[in-house]
Amino acid sequence: MSTFLESQNWRYATKKFDNTKKITNDDLENLKEAIRLSTSSYGLQPYQVLIIENPEVRAQLQPASWGQTQIVDASHLFVFANIVDIQENHIDDYLNNMAKTRNLKLEDLKGYSDFMKSKIIPLPKESKAIWASKQTYLAIANLMNAAADLKIDVTPMEGFEPEKYNDILGLNELGLNASLVATVGYRHEEDATQHFLKVRKPNEELFKTI
């Protein structure tokens, strides 16, 4: 736990990345695995993660990201895109994967499948999109924690225009919506923010035991 807390104190929302430093393939695979293992409601993972390496695409995305330099300077750009309108086929795919992974009969999962569908499918499309978007926040937390352990910097971002991301990345045609963005790489030595003390609420204000 002490190592985890040290990593949390080390990490911060990096404002300036060193564009000469790139993440190794091994570290990238570890970050992807951390995201893959992330918790999600029902285990459904109603999202896809796009890893943008192409500098031309990232240059197109920068104006849609309030002009933030991290978009083009970081080693990698992760875009978390939630499913807009979850349908029965998304749940069926998940249950098929579960049956295969756990060596179960699909009919034995019918009760769980029916329960999930009864809770998710009747929701209005907007409610389903919001719910799916919330799941991306769980996934990005795993990315941030794993990256901090590897001493890799991550800046989570809500400061972008999802509609423009959707257009540039062709997400609308895939039934996806850009929910969150994370720039991943290594802090620049000139980024003064790394020296700032963390500002957090004291325990007595943040926590209440009942």
Query: At CB < 8 A and 24+ separation, what contacts does 197-206 make?
Result: 198/9, 198/12
Q: What is the pLDDT of residues 88-128, one digit of tens each?
A: 999 999 999 999 999 999 999 999 999 999 999 999 999 99
Q: Which amino acid is at 34?
A: A
What pLDDT score was predicted for residue 2?
81
Res. 1: pLDDT tops 80: no
Q: What is the pLDDT of residues 11-31, one digit of tens each?
A: 999 999 999 999 999 999 999
pTM of the entire structure?
A: 0.96
For residues 192 and 14, the answer to whether their CB atoms sit within 8 Å is no
Cβ neighbours of residue 35 closer than 8 Å, sequence gap 6 or more: 49, 139, 142, 143
Q: Closest Cα partner for 70 from 167, 156, 190, 170?
A: 156
Q: Closest Cα partner for 39 from 110, 116, 135?
A: 135
For residues 80 and 180, the answer to whether their CB atoms sit within 8 Å is yes
How many Å apart are CA 23 and CA 46, to the nearest integer? Answer: 27
Per the prediction, the chain carries an average pLDDT of 97
Domains and CATH numbers, the chain: 2-35+48-78+138-206 (3.40.109.10)
Sheet arrangement for strand 153-157: 47-52, 76-83, 176-185, 153-157
What pLDDT score was predicted for residue 69?
98
For residues 162 and 136, the answer to whether their CB atoms sit within 8 Å is no
